[in-house]
Amino acid sequence: MSAQTAAKPLPLASAKRRPALLLAEFDTPGGIVHACEKIRDAGYTQWDAHTPFPIHGMDKAMGLRDSKLGWIVLFMAIGGLSTGVSLFMYMNGIDYPLVIGGKPPAAWPASVPVFFELTILFSAFGAVFGMLGLNKLPRHHHPIFESDRFRAATDDKYFLSIDASDPKFDAKKTRALLESAHPGAVELVEEEG
């Protein structure tokens, strides 16, 4: 078979790309705070601000509520303490009661360190797994990393991203809203879908 008559390989099917988010770049902290206020007031819910350092007033500008993590940790701490007391009462008072030195079988002062340690252990698990759950982690890839501009987010630029999954997202209207905040650039980031 000659090279001329050999079958040519079929081209790979091109992956279809769909919009993932709109990304706006700002040069100043004041610029991104102003943009966040606009997006918040417009009623968007699936968006985020990316800055190289914490900015005073950003939580208020984004309309963020207090974190639920404290309540998760408190609930887990109470669960740890309850577990310690329950184990102690069952083991020392019911399952295998021992009278040592005339003390009653359920004398709790000697078990305070166990109560404390279980409270701390459950609190730590609540903090770690609660934080992971609230932040929707682990997420190994985010479409925002497809943008070459976004590399400056840890250096000297400020970014605002609006996710395409937001109910109010419309490529043209959302872009116009972002441009009204006077960003340095607005980019549509796509992902394979």
* CA distance readout (Å), 47 to 36, 161, 164: 9, 6, 9
Name 53's Cβ contacts closer than 8 Å, sequence gap at least 6.
none
- pLDDT tens track for 45-62: 999 999 999 999 999 999
Residues 88-114 have pLDDT tens digits of: 999 888 888 888 888 887 788 888 999
Q: How far apart are CA 131 and CA 127, in angstroms?
A: 6
pLDDT digits (tens, 9 = 90+) for 34-49: 999 999 999 999 999 9
Write the CA distances from 27 to 8, 19, 159, 173, integer angstroms.
Answer: 50, 24, 9, 23
Sketch the domain layout of the chain as residue ranges. 18-65+143-192, 69-134
- Does domain 18-65+143-192 sit in CATH 3.30.450? no
pLDDT of residue 157 exceeding 90, the answer is: yes
Strands 185-192 and 17-26: antiparallel
As a whole-number percent, the residues of the chain with pLDDT over 70 amount to 92
CA angle, 36 as apex, 33 and 40 as ends, to 5°?
145
pLDDT averaged over every residue in the chain: 91
Task: Give kind and range of the element (H or E) at residue 69.
Answer: helix 69-90
pTM equals 0.74
Q: What does the block give as tokens for 150?
A: 């976004």
**Contact predicate 99/105, CB 8 Å:** yes
